Amino acid sequence: MVAEKKKEKERLFHLVKRNDIEPWKKWIIRIASVIIAALLAGGIFAVVAKDSAAFGGFFKEMWKGSFGTQRLAYVFTSDWAILMCISLAVTPAFKMRFWNIGAEGQTLAGALGAAIILYYLGGKIVEPVVILFMFAAALFMGMLWAVIPAIFKAIWGTNETLFTLMMNYVAIQLTNFFVNLWTRGTQTTMGNLGNGTIHGILGIPYIQNAVIVAIVTIIIFIYLRYFKHGYELEVVGESQNTAKYIGINVKKVIIRTMLLSGVICGLAGFLLVGGSPTPTINAELVAGRGFTAILVSWLSKFGPLAMIFVTAFVVFLQTGAKQGSNTYHIGASSAYSDIIVGLFFLIIIASEFFLNYRIKFRKKEGK
């Protein structure tokens, strides 16, 4: 015991939690971490491609992959819209410290709801009505997937992280079930489900998703900042006891917030099916965005406006890394984009430490 205490005293430095940090320092730390990650990513790329010129080429390819042609820019926009939508969806729950990692499943459930309507009603009744039904079904399914864990959390305190994680796979298997049912087990993905899609707005193709998501962004921003609901969920996140003390019905807030999360995830699911020129459904439709969205939301510090840029940055990394690995023929391109995105996330997450803590070095002469 005594020996241990001595060791404590000899420590070179100790950590101090800091509550406020100057904005410019914040940005220097963040930008530095992004630069470090970018250098590492480029370095790995050059090593793998066995070509030192690939280091610079990598960044050029990344740009080309995202905005090189008009079509790529459209793809970029719609990818942005979906990821942004899911990130917005998980944000209110995270502010409440409800660790919903089931956005993947909630979105897929929404997409499945839309696809079911499209499969059974598409072409039989007029398109606007089909779209309306799809919209309703998607929102309902997304909501259902989110509210079930929320109810159990609110009433019995069931661990929400693990519950929502499992719900992901229930959604995936349910999707596989329907795809197999419709294709009689011949395919793992549905072909083009045909009509029942929203095509562009004002003659600009592929833009509809981005427009809808932009509106949702504004709504969520206002909801979180200026509405009583937004404040209540923040209090619940800070301290449930405080919330109870000032008369907030914690259970109601948990369920209500997850309802909102689920509905927005459902909307993302609807956009994945109905917002695509060739609507389809398969278990891989969400493609891990539900998990990426969690990272995006957290990195944006749950702020909808910062999220716009963080999302764009992440989509840029993903599409860019894919393009880069295709151009230099270094194999599995989606795996490579996973590496790059994972690397950036890890380094940026690590940099958060320097925002929250200060390292205090011990002065040599004691006190």
Binding to other proteins in span 28-67, by CB under 8 A: none
SS (H, E, C) the chain: CHHHHHHHHHCCEEEEECCCCCHHHHHHHHHHHHHHHHHHHHHHHHHHHCCCCHHHHHHHHHHHHHHCCHHHHHHHHHHHHHHHHHHHHHHHHHHCCCCCCCHHHHHHHHHHHHHHHHHHHCCCCCHHHHHHHHHHHHHHHHHHHHHHHHHHHHHHCCCHHHHHHHHHHHHHHHHHHHHHHHHCCCCCECCCCCCCCCCCECCECCCHHHHHHHHHHHHHHHHHHHCHHHHHHHHHHHCHHHHHHCCCCHHHHHHHHHHHHHHHHHHHHHHHHHCCCCCCCECCCCCCHHHHHHHHHHHCCCCHHHHHHHHHHHHHHHHHHHHHHHHCCCCCHHHHHHHHHHHHHHHHHHHHHHHHEEEEECCCCCC
The site string for other proteins over 275-304 (x = CB under 8 A, - otherwise) reads -------------x--xx-xx--x------
Retrieve residue 56's tokens.
Answer: 């610079």
Q: Given the complex with other proteins, which of 121 and 339 has the nearer CB atom?
A: 339
Q: How far is the CB of 344 from other proteins (least distance, A)?
A: 9
Per CB under 8 A, does 120 bind other proteins? no
Q: How far is the CB of 132 from other proteins (least distance, A)?
A: 28
Which one among 180, 189, 195, 239 touches other proteins, defined by CB under 8 A?
A: 180
Quick count: other Cβ atoms within 10 Å of Cβ 279?
23
Q: How far is the CB of 89 from other proteins (least distance, A)?
A: 16
Q: Given the complex with other proteins, which of 76 and 345 has the nearer CB atom?
A: 345
Per CB under 8 A, does 21 bind other proteins? no
Residue 249 CB-density burial (10 A; 0-12 exposed, 13-18 middle, 19+ buried): middle
Q: Given the complex with other proteins, which of 55 and 74 has the nearer CB atom?
A: 55
Per CB under 8 A, does 336 bind other proteins? yes
Residue span binding other proteins (CB under 8 A) among the ranges 22-30, 116-124, 174-182, 252-260: 174-182
Which one among 181, 214, 218, 219 touches other proteins, defined by CB under 8 A?
A: 181
Q: How far is the CB of 107 from other proteins (least distance, A)?
A: 16
Per CB under 8 A, does 106 bind other proteins? no
The site string for other proteins over 62-101 (x = CB under 8 A, - otherwise) reads -------------------------------------x-x
Residues 6+ positions from 21 with CB-CB distance below 8 Å = 355
Which one among 27, 63, 120, 169 touches other proteins, defined by CB under 8 A?
A: 169
Per CB under 8 A, does 162 bind other proteins? yes
Which one among 72, 136, 170, 259 touches other proteins, defined by CB under 8 A?
A: 170
Q: How far is the CB of 154 from other proteins (least distance, A)?
A: 11
Q: How far is the CB of 177 from other proteins (least distance, A)?
A: 4
* φ, ψ (nearest 5 deg) of residue 14: -140, 165
Q: How far is the CB of 216 from other proteins (least distance, A)?
A: 23
Per CB under 8 A, does 239 bind other proteins? no
The amino acid at 208: Q
Which positions touch other proteins (CB under 8 A)? 1, 4, 15-17, 99, 101, 152, 156-159, 161-163, 165-170, 173-174, 176-178, 180-181, 184-185, 288, 291-292, 294-295, 298, 331-332, 334-343, 345-346, 349-350, 352-353, 356-357
